[in-house]
Amino acid sequence: MPASRVRRVAVIAAPPASMFNLAIPEMLFAKVEVDGGPGYETVICAPDPGPVATTGGLDLHVPLGLDATDAADTVILAGSGSYTDPDPRILDALRRAAAAGKRIASICTGSFALAAAGLLDGRAATTYWAYREQLAERHPTIDLQDDVLFVQDGPVLTSSGYAAGIDLCLHVIRTDHGAAVANTVARLALVAPVRPGGQTQFTLTPLPPERGVSFARTRAWAMEHLDEPLTLTDLARHAGVSVRTLSRRFHAETGVSPLQWLLHQRVERAKELLETTSLPMDRVARAGGLGTADSLRRHLLRRTGLTPSAYRASFDRLGSAAATAAAGGATATATAASAS
């Protein structure tokens, strides 16, 4: 298999820059390895190369100017303290990137600059929930999505605040290289696996853990039994709580219902098997807990727009010999899980 082309990512630091937002793309994209080599080359650039002020009071040395965006495939604008007054040079760089057909993304308040550049007019987008009303008032033509982690509308992506930038970057990696690679990066970075963009940003009335109960262990247990017909009763029994308490607390912890979370994990498992094995579709569906090949096709089409065979053709990570070996291992794993 020929080596994959290294994708270039340019992250714009708009002073005063958020060091956390700037670190997210570099941290995640640097962990992508494809065909034995790096999957991305990530650079940080600024309107004025040199010392760049940050929101934490430190200066960050950024040697590259905005012309670095010209060589990039993806341009990401990290949120900053100057979101209400974006630098005209940044707006010009964003417009130039859009005209060249590049993928453009924002983290947190970076969406204000994308909007000021006219890139969000008529598009679905989001921002950090605390600034939603302000963005809506300034740019009423945006189809502003409430309470989601990130939104992709064509080549333009926007995320909500802070750690949602992690979800956006994992989504980019999954789009480019598939679910298996994205979830490997998530594990290496010790962050949650790829989450759906529609998961909520925050819980309006977060509930304190009852008697110290957390459902992390139950989620880990469910991940080991995805091929089984798990129900709310099964999850509640493992957690040692009632179904009602499970549903309420699980949503408070994850932002989604237990069954929504379970379906997402099953689809992700099926996608990994499609990418890394040559298992037939009905066995992929069973190993992922989706039941039948028809059910697998329906859920995958709804989430990716691709049939299972088209998804496998797009994201196959193995040669035929390796796929055969991996299929044997996956079959043994699925059989062992079914027997346990």
Number of domain units in the chain: 2
Tell me, what amino acid is at 44?
Answer: I
3 state DSSP class of 55: coil
Q: Which one has a higher pLDDT value, 305 or 118? A: 118
In a domain, 197, yes or no: no
Same domain, 115 and 236: no
pLDDT tens digits for 122-179? 999 999 988 999 999 999 999 998 778 889 999 999 998 878 899 899 999 988 988 8
Same domain, 146 and 214: no
Same domain, 182 and 239: no
CA–CA separation, 156 vs 145, rounded Å? 14
Tell me, what amino acid is at 40?
Answer: Y
Quick one: which of 90, 96, 101 has its CA closest to 112? 90
Q: Which CATH number belongs to the domain containing residue 237 in this structure? A: 1.10.10.60
In a domain, 56, yes or no: yes
In a domain, 50, yes or no: yes
Q: What pTM does this model have?
A: 0.67
Q: What residues pair up with 34 in beta bridges, in sequence order?
A: 37
Tell me, what amino acid is at 225?
Answer: H
Domain boundary among 161, 188, 215: 188
Same domain, 143 and 286: no
3 state DSSP class of 57: coil
pLDDT tens digits for 212-270? 457 888 999 999 999 999 999 999 999 999 999 999 999 888 778 999 999 989 998 99
Given a cut of 70, whether residue 210 has pLDDT beyond it is no
CA–CA separation, 287 vs 298, rounded Å? 16
In a domain, 196, yes or no: no
Same domain, 146 and 218: no
In a domain, 128, yes or no: yes
CA–CA separation, 2 vs 256, rounded Å? 40
Same domain, 135 and 216: no
CA–CA separation, 200 vs 265, rounded Å? 16
H helix runs in the chain, sequence order:
19-29, 88-99, 110-116, 132-138, 164-177, 179-188, 216-223, 232-239, 243-254, 258-276, 281-287, 293-304, 308-315, 320-339
**Which residue range is the domain that position 58 belongs to?**
7-188
In a domain, 2, yes or no: no
Same domain, 84 and 163: yes
CA–CA separation, 222 vs 116, rounded Å? 44
3 state DSSP class of 148: coil
pLDDT tens digits for 85-117? 899 999 999 999 999 999 999 999 999 999 999
